[in-house]
Amino acid sequence: MQAAHPLLVGYFPQWGLYYEQPYSVKQLVDNGSASLLDQINYAQGFVSGGKCSVADPKADLNTTYSAQNSVSGRPDDPASRFRGYFHQLKELKRRYPRLKILISLEGNPAGFAEDAKPENRKAFVASCIEIFIRGHFAPGIHEPGIFDGFDIDWEYPHAEDAGNYQAVLEEFRRQMRGVRPGLRLSIAVGHSPRMLSGTDFSAISGLVDQIGIMNYDYTGPWSPTTGFLAPLFSNPADPRHSNSIERNIADYVAAGVPREKLLMGLPFYGYSWTGVDGANNGLFQVGKGVRGDQPYWYIRKLTSGYSAYRDERSQAPWLFDGTTFWTYEDAVSVRYKASYAANEGLGGVMIWELSDDTPEAELLTTAHRALLHPVGVSAFQIKAPEPTRPIDTTGGR
């Protein structure tokens, strides 16, 4: 599959049910996201013990939605065995028939490695197809047609798994062809091909429709110094490394992946450090990382005492209040990244994850607009590093 235009792909979080304000599929309709997205990757289906399974029956099948929170505008029947997110996704596809939905398969890396072995892979793949494509989610529930394929999120195959990794993708592709035409197969990969040592990406590219690069977590709370979550370009002043999205995309292309198969990852969350020195407005300074991430909608509200800055070299924003530093993405950086993806002929972008956006879908809307109408941004067009300065975090909207 080659997209006629860059794809806008977003991950939908199964765990959104358990937020203080539960996240619903209906919100994608209310804020316009459903009409902009080309594909949803539903996270997650579970891989364990040689088979696929529904990861959370309560979220996927057993939660009852009122008319107000239902995509169809009709309340769920509490006596029905088929409710939850899966029912809402089916209603979403009925309303937006062009929208594709993939089930993202996640599991223990050792479990994936075991399931991909020659003696296990055929039955393993068959179980995934039986549940998620043929729709036999549970006894008495047969609801085919919700999912249009698989997103394989194996983090990460070791060098000794490389052959089985390719072979299990071959098995997925072989069995999927026998079910119905047009089923999609994608993989999520680390931001560098070196994270999947021994993998033949040229061969794998012929098996999958999309390779989604997790172009984020370049720096985070585990890092002793502050830095950028997802720098588009490297900044020589970064004391830790010179890695960047630009460099890693080039690495995958050099490894044999066609550009049109690559999806650039866009994080809709951020990280923070405390106890940061004020030099350079907190950038590249020693600090104590705060465990966990926070969604963009939360960071967007941090106004009291904070100043916003942008690194012109990395095309990345940050917030600093004198002691606390935040790395995140805003409308400006998302616009540049999505534009870069379009200008470089990539297959599109993938968002981790949809519930982290504002209720109005500020970042997703920005990404959609930039994919269709990209601004000029590339390595040779970026200005030389400038002193950091306060920025408009709204992106001029």
Which residue do the tokens 């029912």 mark?
Answer: 87
Q: Which amino acid is at 370?
A: A
Distance CA 118, CA 306 (A): 55
- The confidence score (pLDDT) of residue 392 equals 37
Angle at Cα 22 formed by Cα 31 and Cα 84, nearest 5°? 95
Angle at Cα 283 formed by Cα 383 and Cα 338, nearest 5°? 50
How many structural domains does the chain have? 1
| Single pTM value for the model | 0.93
Q: Return the structure tokens found at 151.
A: 């997103």
Q: Is residue 275 part of a domain?
A: no
Inform me whether the pLDDT recorded for 1 exceeds 90: no
**pLDDT tens column, 104-146:** 999 889 999 999 999 999 999 999 999 999 999 999 999 999 9
- The confidence score (pLDDT) of residue 242 equals 75
Please state which of the ranges 60-64, 236-240, 320-324 shows the lowest mean pLDDT: 236-240
**pLDDT tens column, 74-92:** 999 999 999 999 999 999 9
Inform me whether the pLDDT recorded for 241 exceeds 80: no
Select the more confidently predicted residue: 207 or 387.
Answer: 207
**pLDDT tens column, 257-297:** 999 999 999 999 999 999 999 999 999 999 999 999 999 99
- The confidence score (pLDDT) of residue 382 equals 44
Q: What is the DSSP secondary-structure string of 349-374? A: EEEE-GGGS-TT-HHHHHHHHHHHS-
Q: Is residue 13 part of a domain?
A: yes
172, 165, 229, 233: which is closest to 193 by C-alpha? 165
Compute the average pLDDT of residues 155-173. 96
Inform me whether the pLDDT recorded for 59 exceeds 60: yes
Q: Is residue 323 part of a domain?
A: no
Q: What is the mean pLDDT of the chain?
A: 93
Q: Is residue 388 part of a domain?
A: no
- Structural domain range at position 179: 7-268+329-372
Helix H or strand E segment including 337: helix 331-343
Using DSSP's 3-state secondary structure scheme, residue 251 falls into helix
- The confidence score (pLDDT) of residue 377 equals 67
Which residue do the tokens 């996270």 mark?
Answer: 43
Distance CA 253, CA 7 (A): 18
Name the pLDDT band for 387 (thresholds 50, 70, 90): very low
Neighbours of 148 (CB within 10 A): 19
Please state which of the ranges 64-68, 122-126, 157-161, 293-297 shows the lowest mean pLDDT: 157-161
3-class DSSP string for 82-119: CCHHHHHHHHHHHHCCCCEEEEEEEECHHHHHHHCCCC
- The confidence score (pLDDT) of residue 396 equals 31
Q: CATH number of the domain that 157 lies in?
A: 3.20.20.80
Using DSSP's 3-state secondary structure scheme, residue 307 falls into strand
Q: Is residue 251 part of a domain?
A: yes
Inform me whether the pLDDT recorded for 162 exceeds 80: yes
Q: Is residue 253 part of a domain?
A: yes
Inform me whether the pLDDT recorded for 335 exceeds 90: yes
Q: Is residue 2 part of a domain?
A: no
Q: Is residue 22 part of a domain?
A: yes
Inform me whether the pLDDT recorded for 253 exceeds 90: yes
In the chain the first and final C-alpha atoms are separated, in Å, by: 34
Q: Return the structure tokens found at 52.
A: 């696929």
Compute the average pLDDT of residues 52-68. 98
DSSP assignment, residue 141?
Answer: B
Of all residues in the chain, what percent carry a pLDDT higher than 90? 88
Inform me whether the pLDDT recorded for 200 exceeds 90: yes
Distance CA 371, CA 122 (A): 38
Which residues lie below 8 Å from residue 62, measured CB to CB, with a gap of 6+? Answer: 83, 84
- Calculate the alpha carbon distances from 42 to 129, 307, 351 in Å: 15, 36, 12
- The confidence score (pLDDT) of residue 289 equals 98
